[in-house]
Amino acid sequence: MTGEELVFKIKADLLKSLGHPSRLAILEYLKTREASVGEMVAKLGIEQSGLSKHLSILRQAGILSSRNEKTAVFYSVRDRDIFVVLRTISEILMKKFRESEKVLQGMSGSDAKSGSDAAP
């Protein structure tokens, strides 16, 4: 594997670790706080086994860090720059949404002009 291929794989693995709605919900929840697994189970409504799997994936990707306190495990965001990535993704999606909205408005306007919006 070349150096460039390795960089692509590392980037793909990082993006793959973000590729689940529950993981995004976890990151959003941890945006302003550190939280225990028990707290996240209660607040996010994710079963503990699934939550533990998602937390492990995010921790292995270097996005989260964990610490033990007595019998509880607490998680926090390791690198706040992940929110820059998520914000950029949101901006791209909003741009695509606005473009799609314009196309749909244009279609509805052309339907009205041609009279094809009447029910068959």
What average pLDDT does the chain have?
A: 91
Find all residues with CB under 8 Å of 44, minimum gap 6, and list them: 22, 25, 26, 29, 51
According to the model, what pLDDT value does residue 111 have? 58
Residue 54's pLDDT band (boundaries 50, 70, 90)?
A: very high
Q: Choose which CATH entry (1.10.10.10, 3.50.50.60, 3.40.250.10, 1.10.579.10) describes domain 1-79.
A: 1.10.10.10
According to the model, what pLDDT value does residue 102 have? 85
pLDDT digits (tens, 9 = 90+) for 14-40: 999 999 999 999 999 999 999 999 999
- H-run or E-run covering 9: helix 3-17
pLDDT digits (tens, 9 = 90+) for 62-88: 999 999 999 999 999 999 999 999 999
Calpha distance 4→1 (Å, rounded): 8
Domain ranges for the chain: 1-79, 80-110
According to the model, what pLDDT value does residue 101 have? 87
- Please give the sequence-ordered ranges of beta strands (E in DSSP) within 14-60, or none if there are none: 35-36
% of residues, the chain, pLDDT over 70: 90
Q: CA–CA distance from 21 to each of 7, 43, 93, 114 (Å)?
A: 25, 15, 15, 42
Residue 104's pLDDT band (boundaries 50, 70, 90)?
A: confident
